Chain A
C-alpha cells in the first residue's frame, strides 16, 4: 500500500494531468492538437522506457508496434465498421502478440545486435504491409468521413480521441511506476546492470525481457489506432517511420531513462520545442537545425537526462522523483 503513496508516482501523475487538462479547460481545438502530439509521445516514450530504461535494451524499430496496431485497428474500422474502442483494443493485442513472438525469437540477442534487429523487423513489416492487399498495399487505408458520425460528428470524435489518449497517458504513468516498484521491475533492472549476474540470482532473463517487450508494445499499438483514426488514413511509409522511434528514444534520454517522470518530461519538452520551432516565424525555416543543436548540447552536458541529473545533483530529490 505504502508504495502507492510515494510522491514519485503522484508528481508524475500531477504533471501528466496538468499537461493534459490544459486544452480541456480552454476548449481550444488548436491547443488540443498540440497537446495530443505531446500525450501521444508520453504514451510512446514511457512504454519504450520500460524496455530502454528499466531493461537496458535499445529498440530502434519500436514504431513497428505503433504502425501494426494502427493498421489492425484501421482495418477493423474500415472493413467491419468496428467501434474505435474495439479497434484500439485489437490494435493493442496485435502489437502485444507481435512483441511476444519477436521476444521469443530475438531477445536472446544483446546490445547492438538487438538494436539492429529491431530496425530490420520494422523494415520487414513495412515491406510486408506494402505487399499485403487486405491492408491496401502501398495505397493504404482511408476512412470515409461518415465514420465520425456515430461519435457525434468529427469535432466530437476528435475530442473523444483526445480524452482517450489522455487516459492512456495517465495509465502509462501508473503502469510505468507499478513496473518499477515491482519484483518484476527489479529483475529487469538487474538484467540491465548485469544479465549474467541476474541469471545467477534466479532471474530468468529471457522471460522477463519478453514480458518487458510485450508491456512496452501494447500501448503504442493502442495509441497507433487512435492516431490513425483521427488522421483518417494510414499508409506504410507513414505508419512505419523509423524516424519516429528515434525521436522517442531521444525523448526518453532527454527526460531521464529508467525514471517514471523522465519520459513524461522528455516528451513534453521535445514535442513543445519542435512544435514551437516549426510554427515560429523566425525559426520555422531552420527548425531542424536548431532542434538538432539543442539536443546535442543537452546530451553533451546532461547525459543522464533532466530527471537523472536532478537526482544525481540533489540526492534528497531521490525520495520524491522516481
Chain B
C-alpha cells in the first residue's frame, strides 16, 4: 500500500515538474515586428531586376469558446474565419507595396465561454505568441475584456460576434466592429411595421433579462417612442423561463398591434410557440431576437409562420460585393468545407478576416498607424453588406455601414416553411405577410 502511495506521489511530483517545464517559456520574447522592412534583404552581388518576394506569415490570434454556452455560435464563427484564411493563403496571400507577400496563420485557445481567462489568453497571444492582429472572442462580455488587452499592447482587433454598443464607448482606438451594433438590431423591425401599417401604434416588448437583449430592446424602445409608438408593455423575463403564460396574459390585456423582443434561442422559440397558442387577436406583427434566423426555428411549424427576426446576414440577401466573394460563393465554399449551411456567425467570422485583408491591402504595409488609417477610411461592400466604422472619438470603431436584414418565416406554394427577406425593401425576396393571422 505504502509503495503505491510513494509511486503515486512521485508520479505527481514528476507530472508537476513536466507541467512547469512545459509552461510558458522563459525565453525573452522579441518585440513584434510591425513593419517588415525589405531593407533586411542581403544586398546581392548580382543586383536583382525586381525585389525578391519576401514571405511573411502574419499571426492572427483569438480565443474561441470550444466549451461552454457559446460553443455552437463560436465554432461557426471560427469556421468562417478559418475558411477566409485558407482561401487567402491558397490564393497566394496578400502582396504589400514593397513586394512582401503576407500569408496568415491562426493561433487560438479555448476561453470556456467565460471571462476568467480571456485576459490571460489574449496577453499570451499578444506577447508570447506575437500575434500581429487579434480577432475578438464570441459575445460582447468576453470581447470587452479582450479589448483592454488589445488596446494595451497596441494590436488592431476586429470584433465579430460582439454586438453590444458599449465596448465602443470606452475610448478604444484599435477596436473595430464587424457586427451591426445591438442598438440597431430591432429598429428596422419598427420601420418595417411602420411601412406595412401606419395605423399600428401599440407595441408590447417582452425580452430576456440579459446583457445583449436588454441593450437591444432599450434602444428599440427609445426609437419606437420617437416614431410615435406607444409601448404598452415592457416586460423582462429571467433567462431560464420556460412558461410564458403569465407574461402572455399581460400581453393579451395590453392588446398590442405588435410584439417585439426575445432573447436567445430556447426562450425565444418557447415564447413564439406559446404566444401562437394563445391566439391573441390584436397581434398583427411579431419580431423576435436571435431565434428566428436559425434554420431549426422551422420546427415550430405553424407557430413559426409570420415571425420576423433580425439577422446579421442571410444567404438570400444579395449584395453586390466590391471586395471578396459573393454570397453564393461564400455559401458554397462553406458547405464544401464544413458540410453545413453557414449561419450569420460564420459570415461574421469570414468578414472579420476580409476586413483585415482589405485594411492590409489598402495600407500596403503592416504598420499599425497605416492600418488604422485604412480601417478608419474603409467603406466597402462585401457579401455580408456594407462595412464602415465610426471615426469619432466617442464611438470609435462602431460599425455604421452594415445594417441588419429582417427575415420572416412564410409558407411557399407547397406549404413548406421558408425564410424570406422582408426588410430592407432593397434586398427583399418576398413581401411581408401582414397581419400575420
- Assess A127 versus B166: contact at CB under 8 Å? Given A33-B124, A230-B119: no
Closest 8 CB pairs of A and B: A145-B171, A233-B144, A33-B120, A33-B123, A154-B152, A232-B148, A30-B127, A30-B128
- Assess A233 versus B141: contact at CB under 8 Å? Given A140-B211, A272-B20: yes
* Interchain CB contact under 8 A, B117 and A278: yes
In the assembled complex, the CB of B111 is this many whole angstroms from the nearest CB of chain A, namely 8
* Interchain CB contact under 8 A, A139 and B215: yes
- CA A31 to CA B24, docked complex, whole Å: 7
In the assembled complex, the CB of A237 is this many whole angstroms from the nearest CB of chain B, namely 7
* Interchain CB contact under 8 A, B22 and A139: no
- Assess A34 versus B145: contact at CB under 8 Å? Given A28-B29, A142-B166, A278-B110: no
- Assess A231 versus B115: contact at CB under 8 Å? Given A138-B209, A139-B166, A144-B170: yes
* Interchain CB contact under 8 A, A276 and B19: yes
- Assess A301 versus B8: contact at CB under 8 Å? Given A28-B127, A30-B123, A272-B19: yes
* Interchain CB contact under 8 A, A30 and B215: no
Query: How many residues on the B side are at the interface (Cβ–Cβ under 8 A)?
Result: 52
Identify which of A26, A138, A154 gathers the most chain B CB atoms within 10 Å of its CB: A138
Q: Which residue on A lies nearest to B148, using beta carbons?
A: A232
| A179 in the interface (beta carbon within 8 A) | no
Hey, what's the 0/1 contact readout for B107-131 against A, CB within 8 Å counting as 1? 0011010111101110110111000
Hey, what's the 0/1 contact readout for B193-209 against A, CB within 8 Å counting as 1? 00000000000000001
A residues less than 8 Å from B128 (CB atoms):
28, 30
* Interchain CB contact under 8 A, A138 and B170: no
B residues less than 8 Å from A230 (CB atoms):
119, 148
| A10 in the interface (beta carbon within 8 A) | no
| B214 in the interface (beta carbon within 8 A) | yes
A residues less than 8 Å from B238 (CB atoms):
127, 130
In the assembled complex, the CB of B175 is this many whole angstroms from the nearest CB of chain A, namely 10
B residues less than 8 Å from A29 (CB atoms):
123, 126-127, 153
Q: Which residue on A lies nearest to B182, using beta carbons?
A: A139
Q: Which residue on B lies nearest to A22, using beta carbons?
A: B26
* Interchain CB contact under 8 A, A37 and B116: yes
Hey, what's the 0/1 contact readout for A117-142 against B, CB within 8 Å counting as 1? 00000000001001100000111101
- Assess A145 versus B151: contact at CB under 8 Å? Given A139-B211, A230-B119: yes
A residues less than 8 Å from B171 (CB atoms):
144-146
| A241 in the interface (beta carbon within 8 A) | yes
A residues less than 8 Å from B9 (CB atoms):
302, 309
* Interchain CB contact under 8 A, B148 and A154: yes
| B229 in the interface (beta carbon within 8 A) | no
Query: How many residues on the A side are at the interface (Cβ–Cβ under 8 A)?
Result: 53
Main secondary structure of the interface of A (DSSP, over half): helix
Identify which of B126, B128, B164, B211 gathers the most chain A CB atoms within 10 Å of its CB: B211
| B23 in the interface (beta carbon within 8 A) | yes
| B172 in the interface (beta carbon within 8 A) | yes
| B67 in the interface (beta carbon within 8 A) | yes
A residues less than 8 Å from B112 (CB atoms):
278, 288
- Assess A142 versus B167: contact at CB under 8 Å? Given A37-B117, A233-B141, A272-B20: yes
- CA A30 to CA B19, docked complex, whole Å: 17
- CA A312 to CA B59, docked complex, whole Å: 50
A residues less than 8 Å from B144 (CB atoms):
142, 231-233
* Interchain CB contact under 8 A, A155 and B170: no
B residues less than 8 Å from A244 (CB atoms):
116
B residues less than 8 Å from A33 (CB atoms):
119-120, 123-124
**Can you list 23 residue pairs at the A/B interface with Cβ under 8 Å?**
A28-B24, A28-B128, A30-B128, A31-B24, A138-B209, A138-B213, A139-B166, A139-B211, A139-B214, A142-B166, A145-B170, A146-B171, A231-B144, A231-B148, A232-B170, A237-B141, A237-B211, A238-B141, A272-B23, A278-B110, A278-B112, A284-B109, A301-B5
B residues less than 8 Å from A298 (CB atoms):
12
A residues less than 8 Å from B145 (CB atoms):
231-233
Identify which of A33, A34, A233 gathers the most chain B CB atoms within 10 Å of its CB: A233
* Interchain CB contact under 8 A, B167 and A131: no
| B222 in the interface (beta carbon within 8 A) | no
B residues less than 8 Å from A285 (CB atoms):
66, 110
Q: In residues 229-250 of chain A, which contact B (Cβ within 8 Å)?
A: 230-233, 235, 237-238, 241, 243-244
- Assess A241 versus B121: contact at CB under 8 Å? Given A233-B141, A284-B109: no
B residues less than 8 Å from A233 (CB atoms):
141, 144-145
* Interchain CB contact under 8 A, B124 and A142: no
- Assess A313 versus B5: contact at CB under 8 Å? Given A145-B148, A272-B19: yes
A residues less than 8 Å from B215 (CB atoms):
139
Hey, what's the 0/1 contact readout for B125-159 against A, CB within 8 Å counting as 1? 01110000000000001001101100111000000
Q: Which residue on B lies nearest to A287, using beta carbons?
A: B110
A residues less than 8 Å from B19 (CB atoms):
272-273, 276
* Interchain CB contact under 8 A, B115 and A279: no
| A65 in the interface (beta carbon within 8 A) | no
| A303 in the interface (beta carbon within 8 A) | no
B residues less than 8 Å from A36 (CB atoms):
120
In the assembled complex, the CB of B130 is this many whole angstroms from the nearest CB of chain A, namely 11
| B16 in the interface (beta carbon within 8 A) | yes
A sample of 17 more A-B contacts (CB under 8 A), given A26-B26, A241-B116, is A28-B24, A30-B120, A34-B120, A144-B169, A144-B171, A232-B147, A232-B148, A235-B141, A244-B116, A269-B16, A272-B20, A275-B120, A276-B19, A278-B112, A279-B109, A301-B5, A306-B12
| A158 in the interface (beta carbon within 8 A) | yes
* Interchain CB contact under 8 A, A131 and B109: no
